[in-house]
Structure 1
Amino acid sequence: MSVSIKEVAAAAGVSVGTVSNVLNRPDKVSEATAQRVTAAIESLGFVRNDAARQLRAGRSRSIGLVVLDAANPFFAEVARGVEDRAAEAGMVVLLGNTDEASAREDAYLELFREQRVNGVLITPTGDDTAKLERLRAAGIPVVLVDREAPDSGLASVAVDDVEGGHLAVAHLLANGRRRVAFVGGSPSIRQVSDRLAGARRAVDEVEGAVLQTMEVATLTVLQGRAAGERIVAMPAEKRPDAVFAANDLLAVGLLQAFALMSDIRVPEDIALVGYDDIDFASATVVPLSSVRQPASAIGRSAVDLLLREIDGAAEERTVRFRPELVVRASSAVHMTTASAGPVEA
């Protein structure tokens, strides 16, 4: 049976209002009284009813975070940045993983609405932002993470993925590669379509260069390995001499297929570049070149924008980071970093 606040007050010999002050406004209570109340709480095993408090206040200390794939180290690092910054603001984070499924996304958004979260950070599964605009209209601020939606009016934090795709493929072409394959997921995922657009732009700038696209079901290591098996099965004269993967998990799977299932050498036969620059990228059997995103900074910046929204900031804002190409052995040039920084608009 749960212990009530009245029982705590009786045990401590104080009023219910004093117990409430100890829980919510401790600066209004003397140290001796606070110690008596705290001792009674611990002795009785009292647990505060945050749900009831949230209903009275109309809001909670929580914010919702919805990502495409919580198992992806990039999103794990984004979540860590979100959690660290939220903790500094006295908030907690509720995490939802959609696995790129819009139905799961809808379920999390409804749950967060019912929980009366202070706001929602989300990497959407598609381009339909109407449900997010409805959430915002209902009084729950929304910030897009690793995505932009210029026509929606939603605040956002993102990396210029078109530029990132261009950096990756321009690097491959500059090193003499001409048959480039792009391995990515559904074009309905904006990050995938933007990275592909950048890759196409780079290919269009070099005479004789061609781009082949290979769509996979999900952006995972297993799907990368499956794509690698398809490349291994091609006649040698038709294989790409370079591959740009839409993220590092796909690139790791491709590398596994080349190393374990064939005599294809990376980078001698096929140069390889991934995206995100997860921690594991530098530790693969052939260290992986990758386009770096500042994942933790993206998460922290998203919380900063959300706090402004919660405080009623009048103007919408976008924070856009420029990507960095980190070159390692998988694309066969000297290690270097083509860097850029954040730009706020």
Structure 2
Amino acid sequence: MAVSIRDVAQRAGVSVGTVSNVLNRPEVVSEESVVRVTQAIEELGYVRNEAARKLRGGVSSTVGFVVLDGQNPYFNEVVRGAEDEATKHGIAIIHGNTDNVKQRERLYLDLFVEQQVRGVLISPYGDITRELKELRSRGIAAVLVDRFSGDNLFSSVSIDSVLGGRMAVEHLIRTGRRRIAFVGGPFDVRQVNDRLAGARVAAEHSEVDVDLEVVATAEMTIEEGTAAGTRLLARPPSERPDGIFAANDMIALGLLHTLVVDGRMLVPDAIGLIGFDDIPFAKVGAVPLSSIQQPARMIGRTALRVLLEEAHDPESIPRRTVFQPELVVRRSTAPST
């Protein structure tokens, strides 16, 4: 069985982080710890991998990227932006998809630590503070993508999702919608909560009476959008919304498919529909979909630049980069008649 870095730490009587520092940043470790770790390595026959050797020379050529939902074309565009920037620096992106599963997120982070990547970009599921602190203790820089750090401990690159949610519902109100449903979930995803918060602000500050309800979904997928559409159609006509703000375009496209096929709630005649992300498929549907646009590739490029800067200077102050969303109007929200 191969000897791991944890085995070395146990033999030397130090933390895994200390062993990592001895391997990669010996100048920050006491001489005594260096001696103990080096002796443990020799006794156990621990062999450091090629990625670790490169990192010790300061030329690691890989960056890890953990995305929230690999099925969503939005994240594909973000990764593409990071790859475009990485290519300029001779760096490769290794990315994994968590599908909103915490265990998978942990698996990828552990893998990236073992591979001794130069840094990690991550669009996390739930609270990730402890894991990011652990990466930092091992000398691996980390930047949040599509979400910000509430405690400002880590750099982030995102858009203002609260503003985006507000823009979406304000647009529906301007087109004459008064019974609006927010369709999305799960609510332990920060982006979903932020978009709902913005929607509520728009409804509360409207000059006309607006009813805003929440229709929860288990995931942010086309299938969940289709199921939500079926539930809405099962209601009596008087209890159906006349406007829908979907938490992302995938949900919106599922809703659109169900409504178009059924035919009882035509879009946009009977109901207005707007999504979030403005993925490429939004403009080519049976009814072109209005959406809140995120500059996906710019987010990816910027996140990679910030990560490389922090990898070069671990003592740099974390910064928060926030892009502004844009409203893209298409036929799905044409004014009600």
Give a deviation string over 1:102-149, Cα, whole Å, max 9, x none. 110001001101110000000000134221122112211000000001
Residue of structure 2 in register with 1:95 after alignment = 95
The total of aligned residue pairs comes to 286
CA contact under 8 A between 2:290 and 2:328: conserved in structure 1?
yes
User: Does 2:232 align with 1:236?
Assistant: no
CA contact under 8 A between 2:160 and 2:323: conserved in structure 1?
yes
Cα offset, 1:175, TM superposition:
1.6
Residue of structure 1 in register with 2:265 after alignment = 264
Runs of 4+ displaced beyond 2 Å = 49-60
User: Does 2:184 align with 1:184?
Assistant: yes
* Comparing 167-176 and 308-317, the one that deviates more: 308-317
1:322 to 321, 324, 328: 324
* Comparing 243-252 and 56-65, the one that deviates more: 56-65
Residue of structure 1 in register with 2:334 after alignment = 332
> In 2, distance between residues paired with 1:165 and 1:56?
45
Instruction: Give unpaired runs (5+ residues) of structure 2.
Output: 1-48
Compared CA separation, residues 299 and 161, structure 1 to 2 (3 A): same
CA contact under 8 A between 2:228 and 2:255: conserved in structure 1?
yes
The within-5 A match list for 1:277-292 is 277-292=278-293
Residue of structure 1 in register with 2:17 after alignment = none
RMSD: 1.6
> In 1, distance between residues paired with 2:328 and 2:174?
15
> In 1, distance between residues paired with 2:56 and 2:152?
32
> In 2, distance between residues paired with 1:118 and 1:172?
44
Cα offset, 1:333, TM superposition:
4.9
Residue of structure 2 in register with 1:297 after alignment = 298
Instruction: Report the secondary structure of 2:260's partner residue.
Output: helix
The within-5 A match list for 1:1-345 is 50-51=50-51, 53-54=53-54, 57=57, 60-206=60-206, 207-312=208-313, 314-333=316-335
Return the TM-score normalized by structure 1: 0.80
Return the TM-score normalized by structure 2: 0.82
Instruction: Give unpaired runs (5+ residues) of structure 1.
Output: 1-48, 335-345
> In 1, distance between residues paired with 2:55 and 2:80?
28
Higher-RCO chain (CA-CA 8 Å, sequence separation at least 6): 2
> In 1, distance between residues paired with 2:136 and 2:237?
53
CA contact under 8 A between 1:129 and 1:152: conserved in structure 2?
no
> In 1, distance between residues paired with 2:271 and 2:140?
48
CA contact under 8 A between 2:51 and 2:116: conserved in structure 1?
no
- Determine what percentage of the aligned residue pairs are the same residue: 50
Aligned partner letter, 1:306: L
